Structure 1
């Protein structure tokens, strides 16, 4: 029998916080098997495209479509690992958490340690123009955001400078060098493939899918859940929203507000946690826009 809804209007802030944390605990702690399958299955699929195309078993145009989806899906498993959701430090399966992070982030040409550091800084300073490394993605509309993301992702773009500044503030010159090393290795691989007569394969299986995938990730993981990005604070720097592509098409970001409040909840549990927590979020003055 379903319990009747709680009248949160009678609860104090302390009681609301206690209830919110109880709901969050109910949706956390489970081992996220789905993320493991997602991480390694997606990577295996992308790697298989190369021999299938080179040996003539799959047309390049079809492989390009699959590769683009693969690259779009890469970031979320490493995002879970960034927040230690697969295994906390000091636990038995910690090595698996780190493996997922490192084994997937290379596909988007970013060191796992860099992604983790800059993303956690984003959580600390969400929507702060001076300290949030993702603030340059924000714009008045989705179309404007896409154009801005593409522009700011260029070598001379503000986004690259913001990430470098974030690492510099943390005195992480080692991570800056890792990023440079990843980029240099990536271009060396592309050059080698092109030199070997596989220029089109390199372009359509990695370079172009990477450009499209990174724009898509920035749009849905940065712009959409924080728009209009004019407020800071735990309950105001993120929002819920309704995507025309649904929760899967938006990579689970419709309920990203729960992730910022309780980043230890697995992505696959975020929707259920949101709907259970929604009356509390309304009472706390959150940006609710999913209807």
Structure 2
């Protein structure tokens, strides 16, 4: 089976309203909201909120990711629901939807290109540098969007206003009873969540960051268990071959695309 044939198999997993994505969004945001309220009334310690909010941040990124690729409302382009879900998901990691979407799509267009891939920031073999790069991915993305990536001026101005609004609100809340919620529920998790996301989605599947072809620029880690824990990102190569496949079908799509292959060809796709 050729790579073209594999891609054709993958296409059959595109489409349909993404009810699991909507459920993930509602579930994640409900847990996050409950944790924030519990901290506000003194039931949940701030550090516990930080842990819960960071985990929710990670799963909310998957919701944002699906909205960015317009995978929520079926085969057509995303409408108001996609935009709304993406915007709410973006609030959790303190970043405007359109800006992060453009950054992510630029990554798809220039995967592993040192000059143009925003995620190439984490391309290193040094563990200490990897930790530092993941920890600073938020300001790196901000720099890429403001300086390196082409985007309409109207979009830029709108996203700057949203970004400033988010952070001004969060900082202002530090002098109110909402201080712990702002710091431990939004500000710190936005950096921690993006840092963990940078490791699991930017470094791990693309290391050693040398290949640029869609069939070889991403690694897969096929596993039913990992598929649940990492919500489909364990077979990130499937996503890069066809970004319109929703996260909850990626493992099945991988299995279908690789099952008929000869061992040598199967290994080729596994490394894709």
**Shorter-normalised TM range:** 0.7 to 0.9
Partner of 1:27: helix, strand, or coil?
Answer: coil
TM-score by length of 1: 0.81
TM-score by length of 2: 0.86
Pairs within 5 Å for 1:43-58? 43-58=29-44
1:265 aligns with 2:245: yes
Partner of 2:125: helix, strand, or coil?
Answer: coil
Q: Which deviations, in whole Å up to 9, do the C-alpha atoms of 1:105-138 show, x marking residues without a partner?
A: 1221222111222211211111111111221121
CA RMSD of aligned residues (A): 2.8
What's 1:161 paired with? Answer: 143
Pairs within 5 Å for 1:117-136? 117-136=102-121
What's 1:17 paired with? Answer: 4
Partner of 2:83: helix, strand, or coil?
Answer: helix
CA distance 1:197–1:29, shift in 2 (3 Å) = closer
Alpha carbons 1:241, 1:289 under 8 Å: kept: no
Q: How many Å separate the matches in 1 of 2:214 and 2:136?
A: 30
1:270 deviates by 0.3
1:211 deviates by 1.6
CA distance 1:17–1:137, shift in 2 (3 Å) = same
1:263 deviates by 1.0
What's 2:80 paired with? Answer: 95
What's 1:176 paired with? Answer: 156
Ranges in structure 1 where 5+ consecutive residues have no aligned partner? 1-7
Partner of 2:220: helix, strand, or coil?
Answer: strand
Q: How many Å separate the matches in 2 of 1:57 and 1:88?
A: 41
1:172 deviates by 2.3
Pairs within 5 Å for 1:1-291? 8=1, 13=2, 16-18=3-5, 20-87=6-73, 94-140=79-125, 144-151=129-136, 153-154=138-139, 158-167=140-149, 170-241=150-221, 246-278=226-258, 279=261, 283=265, 286=268, 288=270
Q: How many Å separate the matches in 2 of 1:204 and 1:185?
A: 18
Ranges in structure 2 where 5+ consecutive residues have no aligned partner? none
Alpha carbons 1:86, 1:94 under 8 Å: kept: no
1:88 deviates by 5.4
Q: Which deviations, in whole Å up to 9, do the C-alpha atoms of 1:3-55 show, x marking residues without a partner?
A: xxxxx4xxxx4xx513x234213322232211001112212321232322222
Runs of 4+ in 1 over 6 A off after TM superposition: none
1:96 deviates by 2.1
1:177 deviates by 2.5
Alpha carbons 1:235, 1:285 under 8 Å: kept: no
Task: Report the count of equivalent residues.
Answer: 269
Q: How many Å separate the matches in 1 of 2:141 and 2:264?
A: 33
